[in-house]
Structure 1
Amino acid sequence: MLKQVTAILLLGASCPAISLAADNGAIRSITLSSGGLAQVSRSADVNSDGVIRIEVPLDQVDDILKSLVVNGFAGSVAGISLAGPQPLQETFKGLPFSLEALSSVPSLLTSLQGAKVSVTSGGKTVEGNILGIETRKADEKAPTYLLTVIDQDGAVETLTLGEDASVRFEDPDLRAKIAKAATTIARGKNDRTRAVDIKVNGVKDSGAVGLTYVVPSPIWKTAYKVVIDGNNKAHLQAWTVLENASGEDWKGIKLTLTSAEPVTLKQGLHQLYWRERQEVPVHTASNNVPDADSGDLSNRQRLSANVEERAVPAPAKAMMGGVSRKAYAADELESPAAPMQIAATNPTAATESDISATFELPGIYDLANGDTLSVPIMDADVEADMVDMYRAGSVLRNPIAAVMLKNTTGVSMPSGILTLYDSKTGYIGDSQLSALPKDDTRLASFATDRKVSISEQQTPTEEIASLKVSDGVMNATVKYRQTTTYTVSGALDGERTVIIEHPIRDGWSFSSAEGFGKTATHQRLKAIVPAGAEKVLTAVDEQLQSNSYALVDTDPDMLLGWSASTHDKELTDKLTNLADARKRQVAIQNELASLDSEIEKTVNEQERIRRNLGAVPDNSDLKKRYLKALADSEDQIASMNERRDAVQQESDRRGDHVSHIIRTF
């Protein structure tokens, strides 16, 4: 096998070492948002050429190009430059050989046909311009390569290339190109970073320059610890859990957390995009002279109204807990059990803005790349009420024990997991806390209260709210009501505050004597249930529906129902009269339908007899019998038709009577 070409080329050209940015400048601060981004602020060193260089991971380049700003100096930014997204491919576009040609000496010599070289192999050296490479293969042996050159005197020489072959290109420009290719290959093998050069003008003091940019970061989490003391108070601590996944160590940085959830976008700015273009033919006809430009209307001056800037209130500082806590007795066996408490922490500067809360962690932090940090961000006493919560439709009859927390910290708290302790008994359960704006409340459910049971019963009813007749049409407004009764059987050993969540029904009104606010999906009912007592809570949902009915076709029972529901005596009498007339009309219509059925049945029987007559011998007793049955059926049909005519007349008369009554409404 021939030697790798990169090893050979080093004999003829020097390869400069790969240099990366040695110092990105110290990180001053990092702000982590709930949107999964980190705002990085760092100092910047400006070299003698007025360039700030930082080296960043390749997967952060798009975000840095999108968000990088230079601040803190009286100058200007001339531009940002860095290696392209495909340095290897782009480098070889401008070279006289391909990447594959560097895989072996024969390939490189073939691609550089005509170049002047000095080649040594097997103790023989040839010099001249490359004419070509011939591949020879004998039997199953490895192929051999025969180089042919022409020297300066015009003599043609050949040389078999062995494993000891060495090549020197005489053209210094060609040697430089090969060296550049080798350097690019070496760098491309570990293409994971980019050196970003920021050209600045007018900078006198390098220390006054800072860089700020935004890059992806793991979302920071919140874990709450709450100790309930039983006096409608609880001590709350919020701890953040965050990771350093920036690609570099954090040393002595200032950390800030924000609960903002901004719109976060990304775009492949460090990628190559080519627009497809339509190829058009070359026209050789005479020029088409365009009309003179009439001007750009968008350049005209527009009038705009003055917009008053809305004043943004100054953020309120959160009330931080800083009260010292009593230590446990040295000998717990000789002293009474002390209530569980949470040790106080160094205060975090928390501020409230229009859409988020910001937590500036005290002090500075060191965190190696890939490590995790957990520190407290809130320590305060808050209002807390112990309640039982029951949601309608639950498969369990027992409510869930919960604590109603009111955020009196002065700053909105992010969502997170919550661990609850009783100051006397210790751990009582976990809960999930959604984002809690300041002064708002949240129910944190943590356990099932088996000592309390709740049953529910639904009773639907409907009543006529209003009736109006117009042009023979009854417009009825019906009030549908569903009454839900919740029966709470209290605990035997103590009083309970019970909150029931009743579902909100779209289009229905809600009322309850025990109403206690609502959520986005449920109305809330609240009651205090003494020990061993039973409490009934009632929720009423109502809806009005309007329907129209043609009186001429209305069921008599519905008419009677309407007559009993209206408070208009005249309308009641008319509806009662109409109900009686409709009842008689329906009865005669049913009789008419019965006669039609009988006639149809007799006619079908006649058809059967006629078919049988055609199948029996003439003058037989069976034929005489069929003839007599046929004559009898004709008499029956004639009689029923006479009866039907009379009934039809009576039906018409009763229909006219109904129509007459309807016209009186």
Structure 2
Amino acid sequence: MRHLLASLALLGLFAFPTLAFAQDLALKRVMLSSGGMGYFEYEATVEGDATLKLTVSLQQVDDVLKSLVVYDDKGGVGGLSLPGREPLAQAFKDLPFDQASLGSPAELLATLKGAQVTVGGSRAISGRIVSVQEETVALGNDKGTTTRTRVTLYTERGLQQFILEDAENLQFADPALRDKVGQALVAIQGNRAKDARTIELSTRGTGKRTVRVAYIVEAPVWKASYRLTLGADPSAARSALQGWATIENLSGQDWKNVELTLVSGRPVAFRQALYNAYYVTRPEVPVEVAGRLVPGIDRGGVQADQRSKASSPPMPAPAPYRAQQERTMLPAATPPPPPPVAAAADQIEASDAATQVVFKFPRAVSVDNGRTLSIPIIDRQVPAMRMALYQADTAARNPLAAIRLTNDGESGLPPGIITIYERDKGGSVAYVGDARLSGFPVGETRLLAYALDEKIIIERDVSQADRLATGTISQGVLKLSRIVRQTTTYRVRGPAKEPRQLVVVQRRLPGWTLTKPDAKGIDISEGNYRIPFALPGGDQTQTFEVVQEQAQQQELRLVDGAADQIRVYALAREFDAKTRDALAKVLQLQQSVAEAERKGKQVDTERQQIVQEQARLRENLARVPANSDLQRRYLATLDKQESELETLAKRKAEAENGVETARDALRTFVASLG
């Protein structure tokens, strides 16, 4: 019985034979996108109806289900099928035992308690399984102990037992149960590649034909890198540019003689878990059970009808200069001048599409799984101008040595690192720095900074001032226009014997206007001005100014405006004479209002003094003898002060009338302006 489980496996295999041979698909085309997606196209030659098998990794199944497409000119696609995400769990879902039960014959028999079995051998038994128990028995001659399995069956002769390890064979009497055991063993065998799924694709048609199957899945981003070799003549208009593409094959399969295409672009790509099972949540309705009847209490009501109702000119040609020759590393012995940069062996076909650049290789490519390939995709002469680029945020004191590169080719260039070399007059080549190239459409230019240019020293100062520009009066409001000016002064000292072309990157202030230098022809890039200046060479320091201005509007109500402000504006020469005269008149009328208000306050002060004096006198009257001379003096003084208060009351009324009259005159005049 030691090989009983193997016998059960054979039964299962006989019960469930494998599928007939299906034709395999061969990988023919690969297209890699810089957006991190890969297009894989397979081919197979079929005749009539056929089943095609395609094995993909588990993590790719969602993308394959989302994007798989079949091309068959003489037939149609019938559909595809593949094991579920948890194939073993599904296989055992409806079986009377689980996967753990197939760990040993004893575990299987214990799980299938009650099943009819037949045991063959010297002691044949047939019956239903009652119990399966392990027991420990001693071996003869003091050789220790061993564990065996005792199985109890219910037979026609009652309960009978046998030792499982001693049985020569055991068979389930029920054919359906034998089939289920075999089905489970086949499922276990087919799940060995647990991280892969084999898709079976059916095609229907007539005759011999080629069927192509393609899909889009996640793939490593391919990278572009460049080599730019500057000529020995600094004034040369063109330089040699060579671009390389680096790709990785991490697809899980070898690429043998495939047609390879590289695409540079940013496609919108989604991922959806189509391989997962989803269920719609349904509300649970309780079971209705007839219960005890309990009539409700009638509490009366009302009749239904009684209810209530309800937004630089072209740069001069750069003067020659030697940007980085001082940085050349000195070898122990001068090597012979190297030959020109080797050209690409194959001419890559590059083309511009609506949203991407496509590079198609002219011959088949082979890349083993897990290996990296780097091959040239660009090889041509491009316009390249040397210059100095000043970015204060990068280096405050020195500009960067840079190249102004122009794409005058027939296709754009993908982004990547560009390594820059410089050839001297003897033909030797030296490395001078790296730069970063962004996506480079046809006809555009890029400034590539690759090293610090310490021969140029720059000092930078920023100042700000404002001035009145214009002023008008409308509906009693003085509307002012002020000009705020920010001036950035650059003091530049370049090499004594080397003229340079300098480009200054100056932050563009939102809502401001560049007034110096002339904005015509000056580039704007990512919120910055790129302003060219020519350095003629020599020891003298050159001074350049960059001025930006903004007009700011202010308003001042003349009726209640501060007199000091109005006095300043009345003298402002930026305003016309009529406006200044009107402001002078407003100032005069405001003074009249102020004078009237002063008189009213003076009356209030005098009255307050009398009231305080009367309070003192009344306090003294309470302490002096009646009918005394002092009492009579106090009373006479109080009488006189009462007369004065009456006079002050009249003066107060006159002062208030004067204030109102002055204010009316001011309001009337202001309303007449504008």
Distance 1:530 1:339 in 2: 34
Task: Determine whether 1:571 maps to 2:573.
Answer: no
TM-aligned CA distance change 1:149 to 1:359, over 3 Å? same
Deviation of the 1:22 alpha carbon = 8.7
Residue identity matched to 1:220: W
Match for residue 214 of structure 1? 216
Cα shift readout 1:207-258 (whole Å, capped 9, x = no counterpart)? x222222222100001100011121221100000000111100111121111
Match of 2:238 in 1: 233
Establish whether residue 444 from structure 1 lines up as the match of residue 461 from structure 2. Answer: no
- Among 491, 494, 503, which residue is 1:499 paired with? 503
**Contact 1:80 / 1:196 at 8 angstroms: preserved in 2?**
yes
> CA 1:68–1:528 in 2, change beyond 3 Å: closer, same or farther?
same
Q: Distance in 2 between matches of 1:450 and 1:503?
A: 23
Instruction: Using the TM superposition, name which of 350-359 and 163-172 deviates more.
Output: 163-172
The question of 1:190 aligning with 2:189 is answered: no
Which amino acid in structure 1 is aligned with residue 126 of structure 2?
E
Aligned to 2:542: 535
The alignment partner of 2:466 has SS state of strand
Q: Is the contact between residue 55 and residue 199 of structure 2 (CA under 8 Å) also seen in structure 1?
A: yes
Q: 1:586-620 CA deviation, whole Å, 9 max, x = no partner?
A: 799899999999x99xx9xxxxxxxxxxxxxxxxx
Match of 2:523 in 1: 517
Equivalent residue number for residue 175 of structure 2: 172
Residue 129 (structure 2) aligns with: 130
5+ long unaligned stretches in structure 1: 285-331, 604-634
SS in 2 for 1:252: strand
Map 1:448-459 → 2, pairs under 5 A: 448-459=452-463
1:159-200 deviations in Å (ceiling 9; x for gaps): 455698964323333222212212222333431222212211
| TM-score in terms of structure 2 length | 0.75
Q: After superposition, give the CA deviation of every residue in 1:75-132 in whole Å (9 maximum; x if it has no partner).
A: 11111122222211111123222223323434422332332213489x8664212234
CA-to-aligned-CA distance 1:305-363 (integer Å, 9 cap, x gap): xxxxxxxxxxxxxxxxxxxxxxxxxxx99999647742111321111222221111232
Contact kept, 8 Å, 1:39 with 1:214, in 2: the verdict is: yes
2:532 partner letter: K
1:87-486 matches, within 5 Å, as 87-119=87-119, 126-133=125-132, 146-151=150-155, 153-159=156-162, 161=164, 167-206=170-209, 208-229=210-231, 230=234, 231-280=236-285, 338=337, 341-346=340-345, 347-392=347-392, 396-424=396-424, 426-486=430-490
CA contact (8 A) 2:223 2:416 kept: yes
CA shift at 1:11, angstroms? 6.9
Q: Distance in 1 between matches of 2:228 and 2:660?
A: 82
Q: Which amino acid aligns with 1:543?
A: Q
Amino acid at match of 1:9: L
- Structure-2 residue corresponding to 1:41: 41
After the TM superposition, which of the residue ranges 533-542 and 161-170 deviates more from structure 2? 161-170
Greater radius of gyration (CA): 2
1:388 maps to amino acid: A
TM-superposed CA distance for 1:39, in Å, is 1.2
Alignment-derived partner of residue 555 in structure 1: 562
CA distance in 1, matches of 2:92, 2:151: 25
Could you tell me how far apart the structure 1 residues matched to 2:219 and 2:583 are? 75
**Structure 1 residues 18 and 142: alpha-carbon distance in aligned structure 2, compared to 1, 3 A threshold:** farther
SS of match in other structure, 2:434: strand
- Describe the superposition over 1:477-507 as per-residue Cα deviations: whole angstroms up to 9, x where unpaired: 3332323233322222301111111212222
Following TM superposition, by how much is the alpha carbon of 1:441 offset from its aligned partner in structure 2, in angstroms?
A: 0.5
- The residue type paired with residue 130 of structure 1 is I
Q: TM-score, normalised by structure 1?
A: 0.76
Question: 2:130 corresponds to which letter in structure 1?
Answer: L
Equivalent pair of 1:32/1:39 in contact (CA under 8 Å): yes
In structure 2, the residue matched to 1:614 is: none
- The answer as to whether partners of 2:23 and 2:52 remain within 8 angstroms in 1 is no
| 2:553 pairs with 1:546 | yes
Equivalent-residue separation in structure 2 for 1:594 and 1:373 (angstroms):
98
Query: How far, CA to CA, are the matches of 2:463 and 2:662 in structure 1?
Result: 40
Contact 1:134 / 1:147 at 8 angstroms: preserved in 2? Answer: yes
Q: CA, structure 1 residues 5+65, in 2 after alignment: closer, same or farther (shift >3 Å)?
A: farther
Alpha-carbon distance in 2 for matches of 1:9, 1:580: 118
Q: 1:427 deviation in Å? A: 0.8
Which amino acid is the alignment partner of residue 222 of structure 2? Answer: W
**Residue of structure 1 in register with 2:294 after alignment:** none
User: Partner of 2:327 in structure 1?
Assistant: none
Cα separation, partners in 2 of 1:203 and 1:477, compared to 1, 3 Å: farther
CA contact 2:407–2:444 (8 Å) conserved in 1: yes
Q: How does 1:15-94 map to 2 (within 5 A)?
A: 24-46=24-46, 49-94=49-94
CA distance in 2 between counterparts of 1:487 and 1:89 reads 77
Map 1:586-601; keep pairs closer than 5 Å.
none
Larger mean Cα displacement after TM superposition, 123-132 or 343-352: 123-132
Pick closer, same or farther for the CA change 1:13–1:65 going to 2, 3 Å. closer
- CA–CA distance in 2 between the matches of 1:511 and 1:340? 51
Shift of 1:47: 6.8
State the alpha-carbon separation in 2 of the partners of residues 653 and 20 from structure 1. Answer: 113
* 1:294-314 Cα deviation digits (max 9, x unpaired): xxxxxxxxxxxxxxxxxxxxx
Which amino acid in structure 1 is aligned with residue 563 of structure 2? P
Q: What displacement does 1:444 show?
A: 0.7
Q: What is the DSSP-based 3-state SS (H/G/I as helix, E as strand, rest coil) of the residue aligned with 1:46?
A: strand
SS of the aligned residue for 1:506 comes to coil
- Which secondary structure does the structure 2 equivalent of 1:401 belong to? strand
Shifted more, 65-74 versus 87-96: the winner is 65-74
For 1:458 and 1:582, how far apart are their aligned partners in 2? 41
Question: Is the Cα contact below 8 Å between 1:226 and 1:419 reproduced in 2?
Answer: yes
1:561–1:517 CA distance, 2 compared to 1 (3 A): farther
- CA offsets 1:392-425 (integer angstroms, 9 cap, x no match): 5555221111101001122100000010011215
SS at match of 1:552: coil
Decide whether aligned partners of structure 1 residues 73 and 394 sit closer, same or farther in structure 2, where only a CA change above 3 A counts: closer
Deviation at 1:430, TM superposition (A): 0.5
- 1:649–1:136 CA distance, 2 compared to 1 (3 A): farther
Conservation of the 8 A alpha-carbon contact between 1:341 and 1:423? no
Q: 1:526 aligns with which of 525, 532, 541?
A: 532
Checking the alignment, whether the CA contact within 8 Å between 2:10 and 2:182 is kept in structure 1 is no
Structure 2 gaps of 5+ residues are 138-144, 290-330, 612-640
